Structure 1
Amino acid sequence: MDVPYLWKDPELKCPLWICGQTSLPLPPATQHQESSRASFASSVFNIMHAIMGSGILGLAYAMASTGIIVFSLLLLFVAFLAAYSVHLLLELCGQTERTSYEDIGFCAFKTTGKVMVAGAILIQNIGEFLGYTSGLSIVFMVYFAIVVIVKKWFIPCPLFNGTMNYVQNFNSDECKPKLLQISTKSAYAIPIMAFSFLCHTSVLPIYCELRRPSKSRMQKAVNIGITLSFSVYMLSALFGYLTFYGKVDSQLLHSYSQYLPRDTLIMSVRICILFSVLLTVPLINFPARKAIMLLFFSNRPFKWSHHIAVTLAIQTLIVLLAMYVPNIQNIFGVVGSTTSTALLFIYPGLFYLQISREPLKSLKKLQALGLLILGFLIGAISLPVIIITWLHNENVA
Structure 2
Amino acid sequence: MELQKINGHSKDDGFDGLDALAEHDEFLPHKPGTKKEVHFTDFEGKTSFGMSVFNLSNAIMGSGILGLAFAMSNTGIVMFLILLVCIAILSAYSIHLLLKCAGVVGIRAYEQLGNRAFGPPGKMLAGCIITVHNIGAMSSYLFIVKSELPLVIQALLDETKNTGDWYLNGNYLIMIVSAFIILPLALMKQLGYLGYTSGFSLSCMVFFLISVIYKKFNIPCPFEDKLHHNITPTVDPLSGQNSTADFCEAKFFTMNSQTAYTVPILAFAFVCHPEVLPIYTELRNATKKRMQTVANISIMAMFVMYLLTALFGYLTFYVKVESELLHTYSRVDPLDVLILCVRLAVLVAVTLTVPVVLFPIRRALLTIFFPDKPFHWARHIIIAICLIFVVNLLVIFVPSIRDIFGLIGATSAPSLIFILPGIFYIRIVPEDQEPMKSRPKIQAACFAALGVVFMVMSLSFIMIDWATGESRSGGGH
Report the TM-score, using the length of structure 2 for normalisation: 0.76
Match of 1:207 in 2: 280
What residue ranges of structure 2 are gaps of 5+ in the alignment? 7-16, 25-39, 143-196, 237-241
Amino acid at match of 1:187: A
CA RMSD, Structure 1 to Structure 2 (Å): 2.2
* Distance in 2 (alpha carbons) for counterparts of 1:166 and 1:227: 37
Question: Matched residues, percent identical?
Answer: 43
Deviations 1:332-360 (A, max 9, x none): 00000100110011100011111112111
Aligned mates of 2:126, 2:51 — CA distance in 1: 27
**Would the aligned equivalents of 2:201 and 2:350 in 1 still touch at CA under 8 Å?**
no
Q: Which letter maps to 1:163?
A: N
Q: Is the 8 A contact 1:57 1:250 kept in 2?
A: yes
Q: Identify the residue that residue 407 of structure 2 maps to in structure 1.
A: 334
- Contact 1:66 1:181 (C-alpha < 8 Å) held by counterparts: yes
Q: Give the whole-Å Cα distance in 2 for the aligned partners of 1:233 and 1:328.
A: 18
SS at match of 2:74: helix
Query: What are the residue-to-residue correspondences of 1:20-169 with 2, within 5 Å?
Result: 21-25=20-24, 26-28=40-42, 33=44, 37-132=46-141, 135=198, 136-161=200-225, 162-163=229-230, 166-169=233-236
1:243 to 298, 305, 316: 316
The alpha carbon displacement at 1:395 in A equals: 9.3
Q: Secondary structure at the match of 1:108?
A: helix
Evaluate the alpha carbon distance shift between residue 75 and residue 330 of structure 1 in structure 2; reply closer, same or farther with a 3 A threshold. same
Identify which range, 300-309 or 203-212, moves more after superposition.
300-309
Quick one: which amino acid aligns to residue 75 of structure 2? T
Residues 371, 159 of structure 1: alpha-carbon distance in 2 compared, 3 angstrom cutoff: same
Which residue pairs with 2:149 in the alignment?
Answer: none
Q: Shift of residue 167 of structure 1?
A: 2.7
Other-structure match for 1:10:
none
Contact in 2 for aligned 1:126/1:318 (Cα 8 Å): yes
SS at match of 1:202: helix
What SS does the corresponding residue of 1:160 show, helix, strand or coil?
Answer: strand
Matched, 1:379 2:455: yes
Q: Which residue of 2 aligns with 1:218?
A: 291
Structure 1 stretches of 4+ moved >6 Å: 1-4, 394-397
User: How far did residue 253 of structure 1 move?
Assistant: 1.1
- What residue identity is the alignment partner of 2:370? F
1: distance between equivalents of 2:201 and 2:298? 14
Deviation track 1:242-269 (CA, whole Å, cap 9, x = no partner) reads 0111111011111111122111111111
Distance in 1, matches of 2:289 and 2:18, equals 21
Residue 362 of structure 1: CA displacement?
Answer: 1.2
Q: Conserved in 2, the CA contact under 8 Å of 1:132 and 1:276?
A: no
What stretches of structure 1 of length at least 5 have no aligned partner? Answer: 5-17
Q: Is residue 70–residue 322 contact of structure 2 (8 Å, CA) maintained in 1?
A: yes
Asked if 2 retains the 8 angstrom alpha-carbon contact of 1:330 and 1:390, the reply is no
CA distance in 1, matches of 2:256, 2:21: 45
Structure 2 counterpart of 1:195, one-letter code? F
Query: What does the per-residue CA deviation read over 1:135-179, in whole Å, with 9 as the maximum and x for residues that have no partner?
Result: 132112111111110000111111223336953444121111110
1:284 Cα offset (Å): 1.1
Q: Which amino acid aligns with 1:48?
A: S
Work out whether 1:294 is the aligned partner of 2:293.
Answer: no
Shift of 1:98: 0.8
